[in-house]
Structures are given as structure tokens and as C-alpha cells.
Structure 1
Amino acid sequence: DPIRDFMVQRNMEVLEEYDPASNPFATKIFINGTWVGVHQDPKHLVSLVQDLRRKSIISHEVSLVRDIRDREFKIFSDAGRVMRPLFAVEQEDKPETGAVKGTLVLNKEHIRRLEADQNLNPADEDYFGWDSLQQGGVIEYLDAEEEETAMICMSPEDLDEYREAKKRPKQSEEDHHQEKLERLNDDATDLNARVKPKVNTDINMYTHCEIHPSMLLGICA
């Protein structure tokens, strides 16, 4: 199994050699439901495998589920899992690219390339398209189980509001929310306007963002 071999090369202790008495707090590694070993540094391992998936070194259809409470890391590559696309969110600052933690991986260059596609055919060498977004880590496919461990923001606008709210002091954020409510009460002409809840600054970090809120109504939701 290539995935199992990869884990062994990344210091996974195989199940046959595992002694629970000497290391009771190790994280269990499961591949397609089978317990194959344990690992001492799950945070680094999960981050590494997620990065490989975003770079398309491993298939985008592989699901990665880390359950911190139960100390388990599950990898699924079997058939039959319904998946749906989401925007990926930067989890750390990247000075080399100028990417800021908490923003979408999607940037202006991606938008420019997509706009240029309107004058190209899918067979053209310079065609960017959906596949390039997925291969560049802009889009990630999540199944129902991985969604349970993800923090998904409803829209890119909400993500921007959350990031700004995190920068403000607690009291200032409450005042800002009150001002927004007053503006909504003063201008309630759009009956179809979305009612937004108060920004929850207690959330540590969003991991993904909906491409559009209506996608919640799909078969995968």
C-alpha cells in the first residue's frame, strides 16, 4: 500500500510493533477503516499530507480526517464517497507569495487567468480552467466525514468580516455589530437581504469557505 509505506517513511510506528504501555497518547492512523499504526507528531503529519493533497502530489479525492479528541487520523481513498468543492483558506502567512493567513488561496492572478480562458479553448496550452484551480490548491474536495472536522465560512465576504473582527478589541467588535444592526433597521427595503449573525471571534481559524451559500443545498451537504 503506497499510503502505508509513505506513513512508515514519515515515522509511523506500525501496529505490530506498537506498545500501548510505553506510548498511550499516540495518535492512531487509519487507512480506509483499517488501523495500521500510530504516530507521535500528528499535527506535523496531517499538515504535511494536506499540503501534498493541495499540490496534487496525492489525489484530491483522498479524504483526510483528524479527530483530535479521539487521537485518530483517518485517510480514505476508497470508492463511493460523495464529495463537494470548497475554497481553501490559507492557514499561515507566506512571505514568499504575499499570502496572508485567513484569506482565500484564490487570488487576483487566478481570476485573471480564468477571465483569459473566455478567449481560449479547453484544448489550448494556456487554458487554466477548473482543473488548474484544483491542482493549485485553490479548491479542495471534502466528503461528509472530513466536513465534520473543517471550519467552513459561508462566503468570502464573511471571511473578510471575520478577519477584520479578529483585529478589533472585544468591546469594539460589540459596538461594530450594534452599528450594523442599526443600519439594517434604518434601511430594511430589501426583503431578500441575507440576515447575518454576529461574527464569532472565538473561532480560531476557518479552514474552508463556501464557493456560494446555495451549494449547501446540493446532494453533498
Structure 2
Amino acid sequence: MLVLGDAHASEPDRRETLLATYRTLEPSTVIQLGDLEHYDLPAPTWFVAGNNEDLDVIDALRAGETPSNVHNVTLFASSVAEIDGLRVGGLSGNYAPTKYGLPRDELVGERRRHFTREDVERAAALSEVDVFLTHEAPKGLLSYGYDPGCEHVNALLQAISPELCLVGHHHRHREAEIDGVRVVSLAPAWERTYTLDPDDLTLDSRPTSEGDPNGTAERSGP
């Protein structure tokens, strides 16, 4: 299973890097951690929405609709899917304290990119999740002189207790055990690609710098 961090594929060079990765690796299934920004892909791809997306597309996918320019993508919106024998779930969006308590239909314009309390509560009710995807990091994973994580993601880890949580947004590789869960923040797709072994949840990663997704592998696992 191919795993990709942020793509930011609205930018032509990064879109070409993303598509070159699909062409070179020919994955049968892909999961992606948000800021995808291109929704016509060569292989079945499940993703969580980030804070940089075509929000009209995201709204349509949340509503169960498929726009004409969307192919091979499925949005995790506090939902779960069976992928390569794993139960994979995800929370879309990022956190804004002033918008968290609002109903989704009151989020307008660019504010549609955020998750709400209702989204988190639906995600917390998911059961038997092996791998959980989120664009926003939990507390305890990253530091910029302060912790940029979100306590609501920590609460989800405690409620769902997945074997593995994969995180986007921060464009850097970090690993930690948080609330008994192995949590990995992914480098962006234009820097590294990852392969997840469904049997033992080992992650192999390879550099994609200079357009080479077949670079030297590195491995992390439980």
C-alpha cells in the first residue's frame, strides 16, 4: 500500500511529481494525508482533506457526490474503509478553536476546511480501526519551541486506540508513541514516498527528491 504525505498538487511541478510517483510505482491502493489538491488520479486513493483543498470538491465528496473532474478518490470524513485487509479511518480538516463548536453548515468560504466537534464525535465512534489518518497532529509529536498539536486528536487516539496513526500537514517525518499509539508524521509527497505493509504495519520510505521515487529505502515499525 502506497502512503503519501501532503501533495499540494495545485502547483504544476508538484502535481507532476505526484503523477510521476503513480506512474513509476504503479500502486494498487494509495492512502494520502491531505492537501491533495488534485482529484483525478491513476489508482484508487483514499485521503483525508487538509487545509489546502478545492473545498467545493471536498463538500461534494462529503455529500457522497462525485464531480466530473474526480476519479479514483475517496474522502475519509470521520469514516472508515476496508483497504488491503486493514480497517482505515480518518478525520478530515484542520482545527480552528473559534469554529470547532459550530455545525458544519455554518462554516462558509475558506472556513469549510476545518473539522468540527460533530466530526470528532463521529470519528470517536469508529470501531476496530487499525490505521487512523489525520491532517492535524496530536500533542506530543512535534515541537517548534511550542507544541503545535491538537488535544482533540489526542482524544481520538484514546477513544479509537488504532495500531497506527499517520499525520500530514507539517511536512516533516517524526515518530512517537502517544497514548499507547504509534504516531508518524509524514514528509511531503515531493520529498518521500512510504509503503505500508498491511501484515505488520511496517513503513518503508524512499526519497522522491529530483523525481526519483525508487531511492534508498528507510524502515520504521512497531
What TM-score results when the alignment is normalised by the length of structure 2? 0.27
Relative to its length, the structure with more strand (as a share) is 2
Please tell me whether Structure 1 or Structure 2 has the larger radius of gyration of its CA atoms.
Answer: 1
What TM-score results when the alignment is normalised by the length of structure 1? 0.27
